[in-house]
Structure 1
């Protein structure tokens, strides 16, 4: 129960912090044009539903495979999911909160909701998507350099960057600007990593 409460509190703090700069930016620049939720991409998915579902399933599987590879290469290294190690089913509520609200949601808000959209509006989609993907990849890879070395960290950066670029593409080009597809993909990947830790599968 303590673990679940910790993850709920951490989620509230994380979402608040990751929403602060986008909210201030919207307040002074986009408030008159549209609601904050639409401006950041928290809106109904529109577009070809079959294509969107296929993209979500495909990227979720790829992200989980990537997650498994990363977990194997970082097997004895402490990570965010290490708190669930060996807890089994009792960790599931905390894993769900961690995966959906503590990590995936705030990261989608800042990377695909804020950075991608703002840079794309100024310099075009390709540039915006590359920037958000690189920043997302660096956030997830650079921290491992002291632990696993440059080569493994570089592979993590490349893989996560490709996934981030693909998620940005799905959101903007297939789901018409909604960040919900990437939020689902990201959440499923994090749930998978949490379950792997809880059941010590990898």
Structure 2
């Protein structure tokens, strides 16, 4: 548990370092940095929609796991996150680690870097629509590249590209159009989707 907590903190710091350095160089001060990356109060409407959206992002992965033997094998692989949870079994320690990984190590760190920094900068340069599409594509490509290390199945890789890309696009829409620039809705949606996928694949199926 301690190792995962330390790992989560380090990942958040690393993912926050780039936007912080850019902001510091540009503004000569750290004041206003949280506003710059969107760590501010959201709106109730955006938060509610984020909860609903998480189901749209977790469901396709769960359906693939339930209906496709090859994808199920991939998700059950001992080296995957869900495979490790299956080996650990359900318990206080595994539940704690799941929450740390799902809410902080992956979703929070990624939301700060991708939605709080990359998306906002791209939108400021290219406009909302183009900026959002580009950041979503970048997010999808990175996830696809990671999965490509363990599988060459083109159908899986296409799915892995589409699902995170769609999630990234919707998150920015919620953040920028409904939550006044807050990245909290994206974090809620991303984090809850991770919790659903990790827990169901790791402990239920």
Instruction: Provide the TM-score with structure 1 as the length reference.
Output: 0.88
1:64 is aligned to 58
- Do the aligned partners of 1:129 and 1:168 also contact (CA within 8 Å) in 2? yes
Tell me the CA shift for residue 81 of structure 1. Answer: 2.7
- Do the aligned partners of 1:89 and 1:198 also contact (CA within 8 Å) in 2? no
What secondary structure sits across from 2:120 in the alignment?
helix
- Do the aligned partners of 2:62 and 2:201 also contact (CA within 8 Å) in 1? no
- Do the aligned partners of 1:70 and 1:156 also contact (CA within 8 Å) in 2? no
Tell me the CA shift for residue 165 of structure 1. Answer: 0.4
What secondary structure sits across from 1:27 in the alignment?
helix
Mapped partners of 1:85, 1:33: distance in 2: 42
Q: Map 1:116-131 to 2 at 5 A.
A: 116-131=119-134
Deviating more after overlay: 149-158 vs 74-83: 74-83
For residue 111 of structure 2, the aligned residue among 108, 111, 123 is 108
User: Structure 2: which 5+ residue stretches go unaligned?
Assistant: none
1:192 is aligned to 196
Q: Map 1:52-201 to 2 at 5 A.
A: 52-72=46-66, 73=68, 74-77=71-74, 78=77, 79-86=80-87, 87-90=89-92, 91-145=94-148, 146-199=150-203, 201=204
- Do the aligned partners of 2:47 and 2:188 also contact (CA within 8 Å) in 1? no
CA offset digits 1:118-156 (Å, max 9, x no partner): 111111111111111111111222332351412220122
RMSD: 1.9
Mapped partners of 1:33, 1:126: distance in 2: 29
What secondary structure sits across from 2:72 in the alignment?
coil
Q: 1:196 to 1:6 in 2, by over 3 A?
A: farther
Tell me the CA shift for residue 95 of structure 1. Answer: 0.6
Tell me the CA shift for residue 158 of structure 1. Answer: 1.4
Instruction: Provide the TM-score with structure 2 as the length reference.
Output: 0.87
* Number of residue-to-residue matches in the alignment: 195
- 4+ aligned runs moved over 6 Å, structure 1: none
